[in-house]
Amino acid sequence: MSLFLVQSLNGLQFGILLFLIAAGLTLVFGVMGFINLAHGVQYMIGAYLTFMFFQWTANFFVALLLGLIVALAIGLACEILIFRHLYARDHLDQVLATFGIILFVNEAVKVIWGPSSLILPPPDILSWSFEIIDGLQYPVYRLAVIAVGIAVAIGLYLAVFKTRVGMLIRAGATHPEMVSALGVDIKRLFMIVFGFGAMLAGFAGAIAAPMFSLEPNMGDDLLITVFVVIIIGGIGSIRGAFIAAVLVGFLDTLGRAVATDLLKLVFDPSAANQIGPALSSMLIYILMAAILFFKPEGLFPARGAA
């Protein structure tokens, strides 16, 4: 039970991080129809910028704020200088161009910060552990990440569903031609969506930095999982992205923790040790295939859920 509780919290925390990355990407994909493989790079940039500003200021929260501002500026600059010239191109051109950006930024990170792993400590106020049950300690920082992530999800939901810009984003996700015909500056709308998505990904990297080591290519490892979240939740749907991210976070974390032990109930220990890790890494893709079999557009497609 203790293992289940800890892994459940870890799964929720992982799901929150996935949502912060997926929220921006699903809007970019849903509103623009733009395949941005370089979205994971923003996650990495947010982590490294926060690390750099922490070295300069010795204050995690100031470093986080500065990192978000610079991550937003980088996202907007990339949209204006590079990405907006790819919107009218086919998906193959978008994939090749954004993959090239991944290679360039990963090498730039190695040049600036080096290829070795870096560690960013959590803020002092959140560096202690909390006893959730007798004898079981859990880091307060991870609980804070869960709380902040849920608060951001609620704020994002209100922004998308209760504001005029959110209305335009939802309309653009389903009928972009009509939105443009009504006189909306679609380029500015795309820029807002892209910049906000880049900032969310950078924020995810910044708050994840004290929990994981910083290393080049760290964003690439999460990108495939984020695409799984988007497909399960429904392209363009914030609500779908949140629910799918939590599902994937729980399934991936709990699967890696208990799959081998459960298989030992059926197979001998040596076979279970071989099958367990392979099966646990497949669980989220099995979930995706099962959901798409019954709901090809995902759990909450934007056209139905907006």
48: confidence class by pLDDT, cuts 50, 70, 90 = very high
- The answer to the question of residue 211 being in a domain is yes
Residues 6+ apart with CB under 8 A from 63: 50, 51, 52, 53, 54, 56, 57, 206
Looking at per-residue confidence, does 208 or 87 come out higher?
208
Q: Kindly report the pTM of this predicted structure.
A: 0.87
Question: How much is the average pLDDT of 169-176?
Answer: 68
- The answer to the question of residue 279 being in a domain is no
Residue 29 belongs to domain spanning: 2-219
Token pair belonging to 170: 């939802």
- The answer to the question of residue 236 being in a domain is no
Exposure class string for 143-181: b at 16+ Cβ within 10 A, else e: bbbbeebeebbeebeeebeeeeebebbbbbbbebeebee
Q: Say whether pLDDT at 303 is over 70.
A: no
pLDDT in tens, 84-129: 888 778 888 888 888 898 999 989 999 999 888 888 988 888 888 8
Least confident of 37-51, 143-157, 274-288: 274-288
Q: What is the pLDDT of residue 54?
A: 93
- The answer to the question of residue 253 being in a domain is no
- The answer to the question of residue 226 being in a domain is no
pLDDT in tens, 264-288: 777 777 777 777 777 777 888 888 9
Question: How much is the average pLDDT of 40-61?
Answer: 92
- The answer to the question of residue 28 being in a domain is yes
Least confident of 111-125, 238-252, 253-267: 253-267
- The answer to the question of residue 268 being in a domain is no
* Total of domains in the chain: 1
- The answer to the question of residue 16 being in a domain is yes
